[in-house]
Amino acid sequence: MSKLGDDELGLILNWITDLNNRRSFSEVCKQWLRVEGLNRSSLRLLEPDALLQVLPRFPNLVTFETSKFITDADLAFVAQTCPKIEVINLSLKTPREISYQFDEVLIFDNVGDEGLCALAKRCPKLSKVLLRRRKNIGNFGVVSLLNLLHNLTYLDLGFCSLVSDQALEAIGSANSISVLNFQGCSLITDRGLGFLANGSSSKTMKRLNLAECDRITDFGVSRLEQMCCLVELNLAECGPKVTDIGGLSIAAIQSLKKLNLSWLVNVSDHTLVALAENCLNLEMVDLTGCDLVTGAGIRAFAGHMCLEALVLRSCFNVSDSDVVNIVLRCQFLKSVVLDKGLRIWMLPQTQESISRFVELVWA
């Protein structure tokens, strides 16, 4: 029997999806090891110290992921070795128990703008970039991404605390971004939201997360009304300066399907009535901690033809009867989330009645 060539082995390997089986394949001989490496499309790096030795075996990677601390030099090496990468996930999962001093040492060695620039220059096919909690990423690196990557559709900058309105100006001018996460980016202001709303991205943006951007106000939120393609919007914990004025503007975005208004303590029933009347495609609303919301606002959704999920944790002005009313009158509703502290106060008969129609979740 003649020896199988690399092309034949590659075709066989395409049928093997289980990671353990692929590992066994690569252990047969040196040829099979090499072919498996050439045909590997994704890699999750668990040991950054092994990067220089491991990565050259996988030059055709499309997806690269690591949640460990890496340096600018490491990321530059990734870009040089694997120029075909389309998805890179560097989101950091920092354990809460890490001490402040230790965290500072790690952040000092963490990847920053220099590494991001190298990535943008050498990986032109990048479409999805996740940089959550990478504290050294700033405006310069983000602007480089936007200037050089014309296929970029997904950008996660959650908790990148150096990123400000300057980055939003570059993002606003892009015409490809559809998903943007700025959660916890505390330097973002109304000015930055203006760049988003008035730029090319307003016509492509579908999912926008501004949770915990607590410098924004009604003025900035009101400008988001111009984002006519927006399907999902998260404004949770954006602070007391977001009120019904901003809420009424958000209600004008008729494309919305998912909306998170958690802990906006100055948003009231006025916003809910407007949402119920204008956002006919709305499927999920999270009203956790909205102190001014009452049963009147909730009942406004009676008869809504799309609403499937309603989150009412810490909504203490909403009564049992209000929940029962909306469950009975909103025929497409599938789940209601209530504060677990109220469970002992709701009669078992009422809980049973609600559970006949929707999933009742205590959280």
Give how far the C-alpha of residue 305 lies from the chain's centroid of Cα atoms, to the nearest Å: 27
Per-residue pLDDT at 6: 56
Which tokens belong to 286? 């999270």
Residue 26, classed as helix, strand or coil, is helix
| 281 part of a folded domain | yes
Per-residue pLDDT at 66: 96
| 75 part of a folded domain | no
Say how many domains are in the chain. 2
Per-residue pLDDT at 40: 82
Q: What is the CATH number of the domain that holds 20?
A: 1.20.1280
Per-residue pLDDT at 104: 46
| 24 part of a folded domain | yes
Q: Tell me: the pLDDT tens digits for 283-302?
A: 999 999 999 999 999 999 99
Range of the domain at 21: 1-39
Distance set, CA 118 to CA 75, 81, 122 (Å): 7, 12, 6
- Which residues pair with residue 207 across a beta bridge? 179, 232
1-5, 86-90, 246-250, 357-361: segment of lowest average pLDDT: 1-5
Angle between helices 165-173 and 190-198 (to 10 degrees): 0
Give the best-scoring range by mean pLDDT among 12-21, 36-45, 200-209: 200-209
Residue 328, classed as helix, strand or coil, is helix
Name which residue leads in pLDDT, 299 or 36.
299
Provide DSSP, 206-262: -EEE-TT-TT--HHHHHHGGG-TT--EEE-TT--TT-BHHHHHHHTT-TT--EEE-T
User: What residues have CB less than 8 Å from 53, skipping those under 6 apart?
Assistant: none
* Measured distance CA(224)–CA(261) in Å, rounded: 14
Q: What is the DSSP letter of 307?
A: -
Burial classification of residue 107, based on how many CB atoms lie within 10 Å of its CB (0-12 exposed, 13-18 middle, 19 or more buried): middle
* Measured distance CA(178)–CA(154) in Å, rounded: 6
Per-residue pLDDT at 110: 85
Name which residue leads in pLDDT, 128 or 109.
128
| 252 part of a folded domain | no
From 85, 139, 91, select the one nearest 117 (Cα to Cα). 139
Distance set, CA 265 to CA 190, 304, 334 (Å): 19, 24, 26
Residue 108, classed as helix, strand or coil, is helix
| 326 part of a folded domain | yes
With cut-offs at 50, 70 and 90, classify the pLDDT of residue 8: low
| 317 part of a folded domain | yes
Per-residue pLDDT at 342: 85
| 97 part of a folded domain | no
Q: What is the CATH number of the domain that holds 331?
A: 3.80.10.10
Gap between the terminal Cα atoms of the chain = 64
24-38, 192-206, 215-229, 309-323: segment of lowest average pLDDT: 24-38
Per-residue pLDDT at 20: 65
| 13 part of a folded domain | yes
pLDDT at residue 1 tops 50? no
Per-residue pLDDT at 39: 72
| Average of per-residue pLDDT across 45-69 | 92
